[in-house]
Amino acid sequence: MRQLELITGADTNCELDALFVNAPLRDYTLRPRTNDYTLPVLGMAYIATYAQQAGFNVGVLDAEAHGLGIDETAKIVNGAKPRWAAMNLLAPTYEMSARIAAQLDPAIALMVGGHHAKAMPDRVLADPRMVNLRALILGEGELRVTALLKDGTRRRDLPGVLWRDPLLGTRAAGIADSKTSAQMLGPDINALPYVNRAFLPQDPYQAAPTATDRRLAARSAADWIQAAARSGHMEANIVGSRGCPYNCTFCGAAWSANPDVTIRVRSPENIIGELDQLHDKYGVTAFRFVDDLFLGVRNVIEEQMKAFSRHRIGERYVWDATGRINVLDRVSDSELERLVSNGLREVALGIESGSDRILKAMDKRINAEMTERVASRLVEHGIGVKGYFILGFPGESQEDLDATVRHIRNLWRISDQHPGDVRASVFEFRPYPGTPIWQTLIQTGHDPDALLAYGDVDLTGDGADESMRQRDEFNFSVGIEFGDVPLQRIRATLAMLTREQHDRNQGAKEAAA
């Protein structure tokens, strides 16, 4: 019974039509997780919500959020006895997903989707551990998953749905008429229902106050902002758009890896409706836009901010968003001031490197000088910056790595002179199938099996155990040196920078106490 309680959003007293399973990054029976929060599976929740509104009894089992092991996850699925089990396949979790699938009751039909399924469909279909696989769905799944729940034999009429012919052993694919294909593959995102947060065990969540929250309180007399800064916000993650117009070579969202995806942005009224719904139902006062486009296209920013101003969003909420450095570099000071007045608290930027040579290899369309200029303007306006960095990118030299370390420390120095804060989040490079850099690595002789051999890395041996606590789900690697810098030096540098960021966070908390 306790295990069934881990299934969210479903009526477990009735037959389950589908159970959506988010596999863990590693088998947590072997080494328990150390962090207590993981990003919500919004894509999976969108599909589950759509199916639920169509009348199906569906649930989500987020094995990563609950820190479950392989055997326990499979046991819960088999105990729930859904008609369908559905998995989101990602390169780092594929082995975990396949091991779970191998233990499923043969009476449970399996469907899969996600970046890895899209990038390597034939490999997935041929995997003997996927013996129960009845449908592999390429791309956005809301409409096609729901159609399969209505009638599994409809797969032959659904575009972008693949399966293995049991007699011939060849790939079979659904075919739909041209009138329905476009809608099936790219649904109208303004017509989709708002995500039912009952499917997400950790969203909304009570967040601890951030350095930016405290700075907001210091510059505002609004009672609710000061109260939120003292106690932390109730926060929720949200998606404002789908698709990306950029082609960063390491990214699974690169346009060249997703030629089937039409870029779509939700209307401002649709987004604001979800913000208000989350506030009314859960008391949410802070939001994180996790898509690439919210602050990634200038005319989109303009349209959204006009609506935010009309609805006085900044008087009621704060929000964070991902952004593009080259786009924000062209935003005026008055536009930055409007972002602040509309509630912008922090921008997450893919800075990636302090080496212009590596940035060019990544096709980032930025340089280190531009990043410093943008970060300086943001923090001067009191907007926090969360910078993401990649260490060990193919071809990276010690000189490139040193440039990144200097870049991060310089950004910290800049933020120390202004109201906004800079946080650095550093990762070891790992290749994802289907991305531009994956193709380059294969062409230069790398073995696909080796590139897919993801394993978790325990970095606490570098003395950074407390600073690594909230990074547990991100410390994984394929164990290959892609540049000139030894892997141990890359990891030691990662641990050093993470420790320095942790110390900065602690110092900010103590100063505010």
Looking up residue 56, the CATH number of its domain turns out to be 3.40.50.280
Give Dmax (Cα) for the chain. Answer: 71
Q: Where in 455-499 does DSSP place strands (E)?
A: 455-456, 476-477
Q: Which domain holds residue 170?
A: 4-185
pTM of the model as a whole = 0.91
Residue 190 lies in a domain: no
Do 29 and 98 fall within a single domain?
A: yes
Tell me the mean pLDDT in the region 202-225: 63
Q: Given strand 422-428, what is the order of strands in its sheet?
A: 205-206, 234-238, 286-289, 318-323, 344-352, 384-391, 422-428
Nearest-angstrom CA–CA distance, 295 and 86: 32
Read off the pLDDT of residues 78-124 as tens digits, 9 standing for 90 and up. Answer: 999 999 999 999 999 999 999 999 999 999 999 999 999 999 999 99
Tell me the mean pLDDT in the region 397-410: 98
Do 134 and 280 fall within a single domain?
A: no
Least confident of 11-15, 107-111, 150-154: 150-154
Any idea how long the chain is?
A: 513
**Averaged confidence pLDDT in the chain:** 89
How many domains is the chain partitioned into structurally?
A: 2
SS3 (DSSP) at 473: helix
Q: Do 299 and 253 meet the contact criterion of CB atoms below 8 Å apart?
A: no
Q: Cα angle at 263 between 293 and 255, to 5 degrees?
A: 85
Going by pLDDT thresholds of 50, 70 and 90, the confidence category of residue 231 is low
Residue at which a domain ends, from 185, 214, 235: 185
Supply 256's token pair. Answer: 């060249």
Read off the pLDDT of residues 462-494 as tens digits, 9 standing for 90 and up. Answer: 545 555 555 555 677 899 999 999 999 999 999
Tell me the mean pLDDT in the region 379-400: 97
Residue at which a domain ends, from 185, 218, 242: 185
Do 287 and 435 fall within a single domain?
A: yes
Do 275 and 175 fall within a single domain?
A: no
In CATH, what number is assigned to the domain containing residue 232? 3.80.30.20
